Amino acid sequence: MVAVALHEGTTPTNVFTRHDIHGDTVLDCDAVIVGSGAGGAPMAAELAEAGFDVVVLEEGSYYQTRDFTADTSAMVRQLYRDGGATMALGNPPILFQEGRAVGGSTVINGGMSWRTPDDILARWRKEAGLDVTAQSLEPYFERVERRIHAAPNDESAVGKDNWLLKKGADAKGWHTVGNIRNQVHCVGSNRCPFGCPTGAKQSALVSYIPRALHFGARVYADVRVERLTFHGKRATGVIGRVTNTDGQSHRVVVRAKLVVSACGAIHTPALLTRSGVRSRSGQLGANLGLHPNVKVIAIFDEDVTSWKGVHQAFQVREFVDQGLGCFAAVNVPPSIVAMSLPQRGAQLGALMHRYNNMVVAGLLMEDSTTGHVRTIGGRPQAFYQLAERDIGMMQQGLVLLSELLFAAGAKRIILPFHHAKEILTADDARRFFEQPIPASQWEVVTVHMMGTAKMGTDRLRSVTDPFGFVHDVDRLLVSDASLFPTPCRVNPMETIMTLATRAAGHVIDNSRRYLS
Amino acid sequence: MSAYRHTPTARKVLRSLVPVICPPEAAALTDAIVDHMQLTFSTTPSVLRTALAAGFATYDLGALPRYFRRAHALSPDKAERYYESWVHGPTPVHKQFAQMLNQMMSLSCYEQPAMMDAIGFHVAPWIEESKKKRLTVFADDIKKQQARLLAPDPLRPARKKEVA
């Protein structure tokens, strides 16, 4: 029988973990990449194939598909930074999640693979001076999609929750698209956020990382990078630390000709800041976009069993022009549903007995404001205050989403507020949202953090150049969602991978410069 | 991540809250739920854990003026009323602590296999069934993608690394 994923069952010889590092270690390479997710893994694979000696450092551990089990909270503890309890402070605080494992957040995302919309690229051209068009990026998009197998879902694997979402949208006459996901015959175990247990999702862990390893890259897991090193203005490597299985802590020093920070929009600005990098633009850590998400729980009479079926088979995109990125059905395990309900005791039990009748549906917003990441005691802390306009948009979005779900046959809907209200009809929803809902009442989450080291041509307004090289620092490249000048409105994974591939091409084209 | 263990006070408070927050059928799972919460807290940032310890102590002692007993020793109906007083508490901190307890305990409650089973969530067999189906029905396509992943396809075909 075919293996669920490459290298399954054996640790590749060039993957090193806390079990393999028994003393202070010094490594030399052409390129050191901090982070192994959507930005780091493609960069590693492309550079390694071009003959670069590549070292990837990842704070999280190295797992394989067989490690991804039905134990939701164990998966969260293993794969999520701080057990998923990371928060952007504001009113309301916004819970965000980051992956912390080889493969980064691609291990825990839903696998949505969308190209950067044309109008977003136009905005990046206008606001940041970037030379990016759908045409100029086409070869990179195409290359990424081939590598991660971005494709429509098999229709037979679509679950009832998603068919109900589509039914409601169709009844309203709203535009729906089938999701494009990085998967090879996803059969709908619906465990994307907890590590794909079937190997179908082509996360970086099972696509770009094996390719990078195949072409000679070395991956060091369990290594937390403390700071970058410099000689004058030139980045020369990193210093990290690993705690081995005996509880002993060892230094890992990597000396490199090129340093790549690919640890995401929260940790890249923190790593740069604690390494002494300053941006004349004042934008390092600023410009944080989040794509705020809110969700509702709809209860149907019929059995839905939403944990059987592919994750987010459809997106409703009728209201994109109004800043409502999409509506989607998102299965959530019972423990996390229970966690989000204000009920307790017997009431909680009664509601949870309807778990298999529930559809959890969410809306993703294009935010109109920005937050920032501040580095406090070496650790990043995000701050983000929802804009009044965006709260208004969320209210409007929830009315529309409720209309859709009632049109699909929902009998009642639980709204995303503390002491959550239940509504029984679409009219209830309209009436409820006639009054402004105080910001403090909202329960908002996100997994799309962007923009904290934005790229651009003007060094007084951006942190990096259009390829991601940090202005005024030699050989320090950023390769993650930090680079986005504005939120990208769609799921950001493919944009990150595409920009990483494009930047890798630039490095390869100029290897004489970067490897001397 | 460093090891986290509930303080004795935290454990006693949490045990007393299981009948308040969890459905009645979870009563037999009290220790398992409290142990699970310990695992969950072990992944949270240390600053949060410090706040938790202070919160449990405050919650426990806060019952004394009204009931002349610590919270963990209250009878079930008094425990219910005392918890409810925090839900609608005098300060946002009271409310947030009560809400956090509700959230974390509800999560741990429905992570118990017996609770998942009771609501018809049988995900482990479903994962096995899905995995088996994929590997048998789609074996050829899976092999092809795995072969493609390792096939040479240089980004810049004409160039290799040039070291000055």
Mean pLDDT of B8-35: 97
Mean pLDDT of A78-92: 92
Q: Binning pLDDT at 50, 70 and 90, where does residue B150 land?
A: very high
Mean pLDDT of B9-31: 97
Indicate which residue of A175, A448, A471, A506 is catalytic: A448
The predicted model scores a pTM of 0.95
Residues of A in contact with B52 (CB under 8 A): none
Residue A458 DSSP label = -
| B80, closest residue in chain A (CA to CA) | A345
Yes or no: say if A133 and A121 are a contact pair by the CB < 8 Å rule.
yes
Q: What is the pLDDT of residues A34-54, one digit of tens each?
A: 999 999 999 999 999 999 999
Q: How far is CA A137 from CA A12, A22, A163, A465, A496, in A?
A: 33, 44, 33, 17, 12
What is the spatial distance between Cα B100 and Cα A85, in angstroms, rounded to a whole number?
11
> A292, A291, A2, A280: which is closest to A120 by C-alpha?
A291
Interface of A with B in 238-277 (CB under 8 A): none
% of chain A with per-residue pLDDT over 70: 99
What is the spatial distance between Cα A439 and Cα A458, in angstroms, rounded to a whole number?
36
Residues of A in contact with B106 (CB under 8 A): 335, 338-339, 341, 344, 348
Residue A321 neighbours by CB under 8 Å, 6+ apart: none
What is the spatial distance between Cα B19 and Cα B24, in angstroms, rounded to a whole number?
6
Does residue A420 carry a pLDDT above 90? no
Question: A226: distance to nearest CA of chain B, Å?
Answer: 16
Helix (H) or strand (E) holding A376: strand A372-376
Mean pLDDT of chain A: 95
Candidate from B40, B119, B138 with C-beta closest to A185: B138
Question: ipTM for the complex?
Answer: 0.92
Candidate from B24, B108, B126 with C-beta closest to A349: B24
Asked if A419 is an active-site residue, the reply is: no
% of chain A with per-residue pLDDT over 90: 90
Mean pLDDT of A207-236: 98
